[in-house]
Amino acid sequence: MSFFGGVISVSNISTLLFVVFSVLMLGYALGRITVKGVSLGDAGVFIIALLAGALFFHVNELGMLTFDFSAKPYDFNAGLSLIESLGLVLVVTSVGFIAGPKFFGNFKRNFKSYVLLGLIIILAGGLAAAGCIALGEVLGYGATIETQDGFVAMIVGLLSGSLTSTPAFSAAKATVDPSLQGLVSVGHGIAYIFGVIGVVLFVQLVPKLSKADMDAERAKLVIKEEEAKKPFAKKLFDIDHMGIAAFSLAAILGTLIGQVKIPLSSAGLDGTCFSLTTTGGCLLVSLVIGHFGRFGRVNMMPTQGTLKLFRELGLVLFLVGAGIPGGAEFVENFDPMYFVYGIIMTIIPMIIGFLFAKYVLKLSLLNNLGSITGGMTSTPALGTLIGVSKTEDVAAAYAATYPIALIAVVLVSQFLIILF
């Protein structure tokens, strides 16, 4: 990027940092705008990232994500992917540590509810996707798709985007014919936008519309003192005063566990495989470490300040890393009907899940909404819900439902491809 006739020249890395911090500044400003008590919050960062991608980036004929003001073509995909992955590791590891001390007590009491709700949400999403496939056969596949296989690939991509599920996206790409993988990517990018914003708005609107007493709802989340993790009687050794070393260890172990692949077909590791991915691995490890809190006399709990900072920083970095490429792809591949299909696959499972949790499982409002964010695999919505509820305890419900939904959405995506 050059200014003033080339007198000032900025490297591509500096350009990327300039864009990221500009998006963060403008995104936070947008997120602060409140209309009748409802705001975009961190999703404002995602909106600005999408706009930046749509206005200033494009995908060239070589598949490179280029910045329009760069002097030479440079692929920004790798840098943004790194920012997205780093953000995801920061936020899910933080959530695991935050939820860990109360997670297992909460999970033990509501085990069946969390499993059922996670399955109900994903199955509802799968049925909505099947309905969209049937509707597409009646209305036509779209301007750019001529075959049913291509349309199914698009719908499965839309499903993974609607549920903001990277594992489902990866599994779908691995299952479809290689020539159709691009359609999965396009569908994921189109639906991802409403998949983020829709759940963020939902967790804000429901308490408003139901006129919930948030003090009373927070009280329903409190675990009895004897069940909660008690402070250690003996002074523990801190590796560092902020707990960054302990956080890093959880991220390392979680990343390694997330790479373990379990074959789902007779082809072994060369066929379709399931893995927790980095997201699931980091969440699992940080939950366990957060539950025990120490290794012998070594303190393994980061400070609350560190966890809150990393959770917020991770969330917005993730939104920037995902939003800019999504904005560029959205403009180049947009079809109104695909966007409508994506909205359907976000709203239906979310509403069915909420009603099922409220009237069948009898979950309290915040447990319900926390579980919805986990069932929809929506980390941005969890961040919004923590802000709305003013308690980190809702993270326990997210963490309990998320793994069930993670596994279910991968299997449902593959089943749709095989079935249709």
Per-residue pLDDT at 265: 63
Asked if residue 322 belongs to a domain, the reply is no
Per-residue pLDDT at 59: 78
Asked if residue 53 belongs to a domain, the reply is no
Tokens of 97: 């540590």
Per-residue pLDDT at 8: 40
Q: How many domains does the chain have?
A: 1
Contact call for residues 372 and 203 (beta carbons, < 8 A): yes
Asked if residue 205 belongs to a domain, the reply is yes
Asked if residue 362 belongs to a domain, the reply is yes
Per-residue pLDDT at 249: 96
Asked if residue 43 belongs to a domain, the reply is no
Per-residue pLDDT at 138: 86
Asked if residue 392 belongs to a domain, the reply is yes
Asked if residue 56 belongs to a domain, the reply is no
Structural domain boundaries, residue 177: 100-309+331-419
Per-residue pLDDT at 285: 93
Mean pLDDT by 10 residues, the chain (420 residues): 45 85 94 81 85 86 79 81 89 87 77 90 94 88 76 90 78 74 78 87 91 89 53 74 94 91 66 71 90 90 93 88 79 78 94 95 92 89 89 87 82 82
Asked if residue 231 belongs to a domain, the reply is yes
